[in-house]
Amino acid sequence: MTQDRPYRRERRRAALACLLLAVAYFLVPVEQDPNELRLVLRGAATAVLVALISWLVTGLVRRQLLVADDPGQVQLRPLVNLAVALVAGLFTFALADLVIARSAPGQFVNLTTRIDAIYFALATLTTVGYGDVHAEGQVARVAVSLQMVFSIGVVATGVSIVLKQLTRRPARR
């Protein structure tokens, strides 16, 4: 029973972090801005955020790969950090897609709301791609291409590690 307490605490921590990411996603302003300087700054900030999340997730995946085959006890904190970073990556790409859609109408087809952006980012990251929302312009296609590379190279590995570690039973002493 006392061994289960750290698992519950880490799950609550992860759920709270994901909830805060969702709240932040819905509160970040993304309205079209006629001021070109602010538009460039927002685009640059979004690009920096995507790069930071990519770097963070890649580092966490690399660390988890080192311990994934260790038959010892699962290290929860790094695993929870990886899961939260993957969710942050999803919201970051959704935000980037929404900023592009709002800043340059015509770049995306049927991407008009925040829910559309999450839906599209999730469909892209999971490689489902229904086609109802899609990139039409060159800027959007570059952004989506980066999402696909990130999805194949990092997210797939990260999700695989998280699932493998979470389904593994803790070692008994």
Q: What is the pLDDT of residues 89-147, one digit of tens each?
A: 889 899 889 988 988 889 999 999 999 999 999 998 887 888 899 999 999 999 899 88
CA distance 161 to 173: 24
Banded pLDDT at 151 (limits 50, 70, 90): confident
Question: Hey, where are the domains in the chain?
Answer: 4-29+38-167
Q: 44-74: per-residue pLDDT in tens?
A: 777 787 777 777 776 776 666 666 555 555 5
Cβ 104 vs Cβ 139: under 8 Å:
yes
Provide the CB-side half-sphere exposure for 137 (13 A, CA). Answer: 15
Most confidently modeled range among 12-16, 33-37, 93-97: 93-97
pTM of the model: 0.72
Q: Which pLDDT score is estimated for 15?
A: 85
CATH number of 4-29+38-167: 1.10.287.70
Cβ 116 vs Cβ 110: under 8 Å:
yes
Structure tokens at 25: 């996603």
Q: Which pLDDT score is estimated for 61?
A: 67
First to last CA, the chain: 14
Q: Which pLDDT score is estimated for 144?
A: 92
Q: Taking 50 as the threshold, does the pLDDT of residue 173 lie above it?
A: no
Q: Which pLDDT score is estimated for 8?
A: 80
Where b means 16+ CB within 10 Å and e means fewer, 120-151 reads bbebbbeeeeeeebbbebebbeebbebbeebb
Structure tokens at 92: 């970051």
Banded pLDDT at 7 (limits 50, 70, 90): confident
Q: Which pLDDT score is estimated for 132?
A: 94
Tell me if residue 136 falls in helix, strand or coil.
Answer: coil
